[in-house]
């Protein structure tokens, strides 16, 4: 009898764990983010930056892809904190359910309006730690959003194309991680003449065109 109870409880626990922690779709092209994290970031990205207002949506801006690259650059301790943030936000709705039916699901499984209500709750909370969590999440997602060249292009804020003069220091320093035998330049060029950049002039090649 106890064996059947144990088996039943174990099966229920396994099912619950599966519903909470597994069942995320596989994704390719990501080096750092786990599939659970990608699902959460995509859901949060389209809640913070939905379709409309003449700018790309969060998913169109490939926020998850940008964050995947960003996480590779930050130190391990910070990477861990970010992952904990994603984990917390993805699963907090199991304990603080979203409004409406079936609100006690992980964030990425909620309906769009439920996600918006959840994030709005964190944003406007009277509790400072909750607002800090929201601010941290929004900071990360916004970093990813404006890292997309298409967003800056749509905003009209693409960086200028600039011809970089070669100065004395450029004859001293090799590319990072390379020996001095690989210093790129052998002679200085005329320094900047202080001529103001032209607003109608060319913009940085990485931000020109329709490619993201």
Q: For binding to other proteins (CB under 8 A), which residues are involved?
A: 47-50, 52-55, 69-70, 73-75, 77-78, 81, 116, 119-120, 123, 128, 131-132, 135, 138-139, 142-147, 152, 155-160, 162, 164-170, 172-180, 184, 191-197, 199, 204, 206
Q: Which is nearer to other proteins, 101 or 198 (CB)?
A: 198
Q: Which is nearer to other proteins, 24 or 30 (CB)?
A: 30
CA-nearest of 132, 127, 130, 98 to 115 is 98
Bridge partners of residue 24, in order along the sequence: none
Helices (H) and strands (E) in the chain, counts: 7, 0
| Least distance in angstroms from the C-beta of 12 to other proteins | 37
Tokens 């060319």 — which residue? Answer: 202
| Least distance in angstroms from the C-beta of 35 to other proteins | 23
Q: Which is nearer to other proteins, 9 or 155 (CB)?
A: 155
| Least distance in angstroms from the C-beta of 9 to other proteins | 41
Tokens 């699901």 — which residue? Answer: 105
The total number of residues shown for the chain amounts to: 212
**Residue pair 33/67 in contact by the 8 Å Cβ criterion:** yes
**Residue pair 106/91 in contact by the 8 Å Cβ criterion:** yes
| Least distance in angstroms from the C-beta of 178 to other proteins | 6
Q: Which is nearer to other proteins, 50 or 97 (CB)?
A: 50
Q: 41: buried, middle or exposed (CB in 10 Å: 19+, 13-18, 0-12)?
A: buried
| Least distance in angstroms from the C-beta of 209 to other proteins | 16
Q: Which is nearer to other proteins, 15 or 173 (CB)?
A: 173
| Least distance in angstroms from the C-beta of 188 to other proteins | 10
Q: Which is nearer to other proteins, 6 or 201 (CB)?
A: 201
Kindly write down the DSSP assignment for every residue of 76-142, as one continuous string: HHHHHHHHHHHHHHHHGGGTSPPSSTT-SS-GGGS-HHHHHHHHHHHHT-SSHHHHHHHHHHHHHHH
């Amino acid at each position: 009898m106890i064996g059947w109870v144990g088996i039943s409880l174990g099966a229920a626990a396994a099912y619950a764990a599966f519903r909470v922690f597994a069942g995320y779709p596989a994704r390719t092209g990501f080096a750092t983010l786990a599939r659970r994290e990608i699902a959460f970031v995509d859901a949060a990205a389209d809640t913070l930056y939905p379709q409309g207002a003449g700018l790309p949506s969060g998913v169109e801006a490939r926020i998850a892809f940008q964050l995947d690259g960003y996480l590779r650059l930050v130190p391990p301790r910070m990477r861990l904190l970010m992952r904990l943030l994603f984990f917390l936000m993805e699963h907090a709705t199991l304990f603080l359910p979203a409004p409406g039916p079936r609100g006690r699901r992980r964030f990425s499984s909620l309906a769009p309006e439920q996600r918006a209500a959840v994030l709005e709750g964190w944003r406007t909370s009277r509790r400072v730690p909750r607002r800090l969590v929201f601010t941290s999440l929004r900071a990360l997602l916004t970093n990813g959003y404006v890292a997309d060249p298409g967003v800056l292009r749509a905003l009209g804020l693409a960086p200028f194309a600039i011809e970089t003069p070669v100065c004395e220091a450029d004859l001293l320093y090799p590319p990072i991680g390379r020996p001095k035998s690989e210093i790129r330049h052998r002679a200085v060029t005329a320094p900047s003449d202080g001529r103001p950049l032209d607003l109608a002039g060319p913009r940085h090649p990485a931000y020109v065109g329709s490619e993201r």
